[in-house]
Amino acid sequence: MPHLHIMKNKRLAAGIIAFLMLFIMLFSASFIAIEADHDCTGEECPICACIAQCENTLHQIGDGVVVQAAVIVPVVFMLILAFLLATDFPKETLISRKVRLNN
């Protein structure tokens, strides 16, 4: 039974991390949308610095998806290709070859 307790903790931690990632993405996107046309004070504008940081966060989150897709897509492609090739080969059995089995 301790194994189930560990699994529950891992699921809970994964759920919390997923919720926080979603919150960060939504907060960053909404901050960029709200402050897109602010009154900029120049090169040292704190709002522009926050917008740049939010854009950087969104790019980093997006890069993780690209890396995962770059790893997963070839594997899925190879599995589909192997399945299609395996179904093309005729399944020969003794009965399909009409072999008589004598005792």
In this structure, is residue 79 part of a structural domain?
yes
Q: Mean pLDDT throughout 49-71?
A: 77
Q: Mean pLDDT throughout 36-45?
A: 85
In this structure, is residue 45 part of a structural domain?
yes
pLDDT at 37 over 70: yes
Q: Mean pLDDT throughout 90-101?
A: 80
Domain that holds residue 74: 2-85
In this structure, is residue 102 part of a structural domain?
no
- b/e sequence 78-103, b meaning 16+ C-beta within 10 Å: eeeeeeeeeeeeeeeeeeeeeeeeee
Report the share of the chain in percent with pLDDT over 90. Answer: 0
Question: Could you report the per-residue pLDDT of 68-79, keeping only the tens digit for each?
Answer: 666 777 888 888
For the chain, what is the domain count?
A: 1
| pTM greater than 0.75 (yes/no) | no
pLDDT at 64 over 70: no
In this structure, is residue 78 part of a structural domain?
yes
In this structure, is residue 92 part of a structural domain?
no
Our CA dihedral for 76, 77, 83, 84, rounded to 10 degrees, sits at: 150
Structure confidence at residue 43 as a pLDDT band (50, 70, 90): confident
